[in-house]
Amino acid sequence: MTAPLLSVRGLVIEFDTAQGRRRVVDGISFELGEGEVLGILGESGSGKTVSTLAVMGLVEGNPGVVGGEVTLRNGAESLALFEGLEGVIKRRAGKPDRKNVRRWQRMVSRRMRPLWGEMMTAVFQNPRHSLDPLLTIGVQVEESIALAERSLDRAGRRARAVEWLDRVQMSDPERVYRSYAHELSGGMCQRAMIAVALARAPRILVADEPTTGLDTTVRAEIVGLFEDLLADRRRSMLYISHDIREVLHLSDRVIVMRHGRIVEEATAEDLRAGRGERDPYTASLLAAAELGEAL
Ligand SMILES: Nc1ncnc2c1ncn2[C@@H]1O[C@H](COP(=O)(O)OP(=O)(O)O)[C@@H](O)[C@H]1O
Ligand SMILES: [Mg+2]
């Protein structure tokens, strides 16, 4: 792996439910290298979404992230984004009561907010709901451009937005520029969302089940699009999916989550080639995937 850009150590996430406190992420550690695509694979409910939301500082409340550390490295500089609630409480000899939980949450979001966007942006499942229904696609792409390329004037931003819509392979970028989300198909909305995210020029793109809910052909097109957009290895990606074929197709390295734990970590190449001892759950996923079939 190249120099790690993001490092997650011992992340623990818990939620209070009617049945008591539930630990949904149980001490996971992973790193993401510069220019690397890390696939996160696992069945529904295994903790993929909540782990990556935590990394972005977006798990709010009830208690949320109770343990662990997240660090971003910027060249020789290392920036501790946050430590889990337990670490903070221990250092300050406090109690994990409501007041301290809220104080800690405010601290995390204060620290994370300026980084959100510049360091990391995300593309989620159900792009139609992530786009603003009241703004044209063009305006939304331009909002990202205005933050990432401050020197551009209005005409420059417009030209760049159309360029981005072209880069995400919209067949008529000028028309899409003027369109609203409800006028586009699901696949086009996801392309638009990817343009909005990438125009922000993040160092890390988080893609959480970006193809779920789309037709098979459209899914393959979106996976192909990610492949093209990341080919220059100028940004890193966390690619989350329950679809092993998508993950193996796109990733350099893969972690497999189950019941809030990482049960496997391997290079995509080794997994594809069937090399090495596999955890039984990973082996069953590989067996079920009919890997001979092209994506
Ligand atoms: N805010 C929350 N409050 C309570 N439980 C939650 C919350 N967010 C997620 N969970 C639970 O955490 C577990 C992991 O969820 P999630 O990360 O969404 O799984 P995945 O993305 O792998 O499908 C699930 O059992 C889910 O119900
Ligand atoms: Mg999820």
Q: What is the 3-class SS of the chain, one letter each residue?
A: CCCEEEEEEEEEEEEEECCEEEEEEEEEEEEEECCCEEEEEECCCCCHHHHHHHHCCCCCCCEEEEEEEEEEEECCEEEEEEECHHHHHHHHCCCCCHHHHHHHHHHHHHHHCCCECCCEEEEECCHHHHCCCCCCHHHHHHHHHHHHCCCCCHHHHHHHHHHHHHHCCCCCHHHHHHCCHHHCCHHHHHHHHHHHHHHCCCCEEEEECCCCCCCHHHHHHHHHHHHHHHCCCCCEEEEEECCHHHHHHHCCEEEEEECCEEEEEEEHHHHHHCCCCCCHHHHHHHHHCCCCCCC
- The answer to the question of residue 78 being in a domain is yes
- The answer to the question of residue 295 being in a domain is no
**Would you say 194 and 237 are in contact if contact means Cβ atoms under 8 Å apart?**
no
Q: Domain check: are 147 and 187 in the same one? A: yes
- The answer to the question of residue 216 being in a domain is yes
- The answer to the question of residue 293 being in a domain is no
- The answer to the question of residue 96 being in a domain is yes
Centroid of ligand 2 to alpha carbon of 157 (angstroms): 33
CATH code at 258? 3.40.50.300
Q: Domain check: are 56 and 71 in the same one? A: yes
Q: Domain check: are 169 and 58 in the same one? A: no
Looking at residue 2, its pLDDT comes to: 57
Looking at residue 84, its pLDDT comes to: 67
Q: Domain check: are 197 and 94 in the same one? A: no
Last residue of a domain, one of 172, 201, 230: 201
Looking at residue 294, its pLDDT comes to: 45
Buried b or exposed e, range 132-169, using 16+ CB within 10 angstroms: eeeebbbbbbbbbbbebeeebeeeebbebbbebbbbbb
Binding site membership of 119 for ligand 1 (Cβ less than 6 Å): no
Q: What's the structural domain count of the chain? A: 2
Q: Domain check: are 114 and 214 in the same one? A: yes
**What is the rounded distance in angstroms from the CA atom of residue 86 to the CA atom of residue 113?**
22
- The answer to the question of residue 210 being in a domain is yes
Binding site membership of 217 for ligand 1 (Cβ less than 6 Å): no
Looking at residue 75, its pLDDT comes to: 67
Last residue of a domain, one of 167, 201, 235: 201
Q: Domain check: are 223 and 112 in the same one? A: yes
Q: Domain check: are 250 and 278 in the same one? A: yes
Q: Domain check: are 165 and 23 in the same one? A: no
Looking at residue 101, its pLDDT comes to: 73
Binding site membership of 15 for ligand 1 (Cβ less than 6 Å): yes
Residue in 175, 147, 141 with CA at minimum distance from that of residue 160: 141
Centroid of ligand 1 to alpha carbon of 132 (angstroms): 25
Q: Domain check: are 164 and 153 in the same one? A: yes
- The answer to the question of residue 294 being in a domain is no
Sheet strands side by side (includes 253-258):
120-124, 204-208, 236-241, 37-42, 253-258, 261-267
Q: What range does the domain containing 40 cover? A: 4-119+203-288
Q: Domain check: are 281 and 212 in the same one? A: yes
Centroid of ligand 1 to alpha carbon of 177 (angstroms): 35
Q: Domain check: are 221 and 270 in the same one? A: yes
Last residue of a domain, one of 186, 201, 216: 201
Q: Domain check: are 215 and 177 in the same one? A: no
List of the chain residues with pLDDT < 70:
1-3, 74-86, 88-90, 92-96, 113, 290-295
- The answer to the question of residue 197 being in a domain is yes
**What is the rounded distance in angstroms from the CA atom of residue 118 to the CA atom of residue 115?**
5
Q: For residue 46, give the ligand 1 atom closest to its CA.
A: 22
Q: For residue 13, give the ligand 1 atom closest to its CA.
A: 12
